[in-house]
Every structure is written in C-alpha cells, then in structure tokens.
C-alpha cells in the first residue's frame, strides 16, 4: 500500500532543505470560486492593459488543462523579506523583491531539484514547475495547500512568515496526501486599505490593478496618468506600502537566499545618482534583476514622473 503521508512528508522536508520556507500540497482540480471572482475582476477592467489575463482562462482555472495528467499541486513559498533599506531617504524607492537577482530563475531551479528528488526518492513522476511563468493562479493554490490565506490587499499571508513571499507551484501526476486550508486571520483590520496612496484596494480582497503603483511602474507601458501625481510616495519600481503596514509582517524574518541579497551598490545610490542614471549603468547595475522588466526607458519614465510631482513623504512614505 502506498504511504501517501510519508511521501508528502518527504517532499516537504526536501523543499525546506532546498531553501524554501514552506511547502503544502493540494489536489488538482477546477477553481470554482476563483472562476466567479476572475470573471468579475476582468469585467470591471481591474487588469488595466494586462490583456494576457484574458487569455487561457480555462487553463488558469484548471491546471489539469494546462498540464494534462496533473493530480497534485505542490506549493512552495520563498521568503524575501529584509529590513535593509536604501541609505538616502530622499532616493526613489524600489520594492524589496527587486533588491537582488530575479526570483524566477531561483525558484525554477529549486523546483527542478525538487522534482528530481521525487523521481529518485519516491518514484517516477512527471511534473512541471511554475512561478509567474504560466496562467497558474498561484495564490489560490497556496491557500488550498494550507500555506496561508489571502489578505485584504490580495496578497498571500503566512501566519509564520507574513506576506513578503514568492510562490512556486509544481504540478505532478502523483497522488499525495493533501493539506487543508487555514482560517483567514485578517479580522477587522483595514490597515492595508487605508495605507494605499492610490486607493487601489477598492474593497476588501479586491484590487484595481490599474490603480496599483506596482502595475503603474512595471506592467503599464504608457505614460503614468496625471491623476496619480504626488501619490507615489517616491516609489519608482513596485510598491510595498500595503505590506509594510500589515501587522502579520511583524513576524517577517530575514531571508537567507544569497541570490536575493541587495545588488552591489544599489542601496547606496543617492537621489542624484538615480536621476543621472545612464543606460550603460542601468544595464550593469540591474543585470539579472527584476528591474530589467521595466527596461531603461520605463525606469526613466517613472523617474520623470516622480521629478515632475515629488512626494511629500521621503523613503516611500513608510507607515509604522
């Protein structure tokens, strides 16, 4: 008789050994509740110009259509929290997740190693790993796998690690022992909603992506609407404001992933250096960094927007 609990425990132990901070497992299937939510979210236009969100909806809602034969969804979390900050409090601020190297390659490599382990230690298993690289609703699967709950800012919240977390999923054709979802512990807290300077959290658990600073500075390819002038709190790439005020992030601990450590010279950049940044310096500094996603021209657009409408709040307007 196959010992499903033993195999699942082995997978979780190996995931932690590989450097992941948490691992849970859920049965593959159709995401019924998320289907209703996604339909309404798209209908309201909350995805802005991210038209790719309208594509492959059935695959997005059912991983067995994305990877035929999938039986189980293994979810892993990787902490990226650090209390290190940019030294110049007047300098344009970038999100913590972009301090180091691009997390996609880091997580994909670890998922490949995890799948190899399953094949060698448990038995022949087919699978594919993903992290923001396919139409997978990773936060929904993270909830089903019992690793956390969705906060009112739509981020996954772990009761032990907070919300500064990357999510990876490994879709496998092996039956395993499954975890149960945990209770949502946000309670009556509204701090993330109140703190958002662009009012992107239109109601609890619903974010208008087209108003989110992360979207406006990264995914948005056009000019930033003038309606958001003086509301960026000096953010130039991404935004952590709703996470910084979350009480659950008092439990956040420093990550231990070497490749996520701040790039050399990044945190030391003075305000004037950002505004004098050449394309050559950009390419050298952000080689292999998430900041490359917006490109040099995109970053310059963001810097111009900040310069034309400076914020009253230095260092991103962090709220304690």
**Max Cα-Cα span within the chain:** 68
Candidate list 21, 132, 188, 208, residue with the active-site label: 132
**What separation in angstroms does the CA of 170 have from each of 90, 114, 142, 244, 302?**
41, 9, 11, 29, 35
**246-285 residues labelled b (16+ CB within 10 A) or e (exposed):** bebbeebeebebeebebbeebbebebeebeebeeeebeeb
Structure token pair of residue 138: 């990773």
**What separation in angstroms does the CA of 199 have from each of 193, 227, 309?**
7, 12, 18
Q: Is 122 helix (H, G, I), strand (E, B) or coil?
A: coil
Per the CB < 8 A criterion, the answer to whether 266 and 124 are in contact is no
Handedness of CA 166, 172, 178, 181 (dihedral sign): positive
- What is the β-pairing status of strands 22-27 and 127-130? unpaired
Q: Is 132 in the active site?
A: yes
Structure token pair of residue 207: 């974010």
- What is the β-pairing status of strands 72-79 and 165-172? antiparallel
Q: What is the Cα–Cα distance from 213 to 200, expressed in whole angstroms?
A: 8
Catalytic residues: 132
């Amino acid at each position: 008789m196959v010992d499903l609990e033993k195999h699942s425990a082995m997978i979780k132990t190996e995931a932690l050994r590989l450097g992941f901070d948490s691992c849970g497992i859920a049965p593959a299937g159709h995401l019924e509740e998320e289907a209703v939510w996604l339909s309404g979210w798209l209908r309201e236009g909350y995805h802005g110009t991210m038209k790719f969100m309208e594509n492959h909806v059935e695959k997005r809602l059912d991983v067995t259509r994305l990877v035929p034969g999938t039986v189980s969804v293994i979810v892993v979390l990787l902490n990226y929290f650090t209390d290190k900050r940019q030294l110049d409090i007047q300098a344009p601020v970038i999100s913590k997740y972009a301090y180091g190297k691009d997390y996609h390659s880091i997580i994909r490599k670890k998922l490949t190693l995890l799948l190899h382990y399953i094949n060698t230690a448990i038995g022949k298993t087919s699978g594919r790993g993903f992290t923001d690289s396919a139409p997978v609703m990773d936060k929904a699967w993270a909830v089903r796998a019992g690793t956390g709950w969705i906060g009112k800012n739509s981020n996954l919240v772990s009761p032990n690690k907070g919300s500064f977390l990357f999510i990876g999923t490994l879709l496998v054709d092996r039956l395993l022992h499954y975890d149960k979802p945990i209770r949502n512990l946000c309670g009556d807290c509204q701090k993330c909603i109140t703190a958002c300077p662009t009012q992107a959290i239109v109601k609890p658990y619903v974010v208008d992506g087209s108003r989110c600073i992360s979207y406006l500075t990264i995914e948005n390819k056009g000019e930033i609407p003038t309606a958001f002038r003086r509301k960026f709190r000096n953010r130039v790439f991404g935004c952590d404001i709703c996470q910084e005020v979350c009480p659950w992030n008092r439990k956040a601990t420093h990550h231990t992933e070497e490749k996520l450590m701040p790039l050399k010279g990044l945190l030391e950049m003075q305000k004037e250096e950002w505004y004098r940044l050449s394309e050559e310096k950009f390419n050298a500094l952000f080689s292999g960094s998430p900041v490359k996603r917006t490109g040099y021209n995109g970053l310059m657009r963001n810097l111009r927007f900040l310069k034309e409408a400076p914020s009253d709040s230095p260092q991103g307007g962090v709220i304690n």
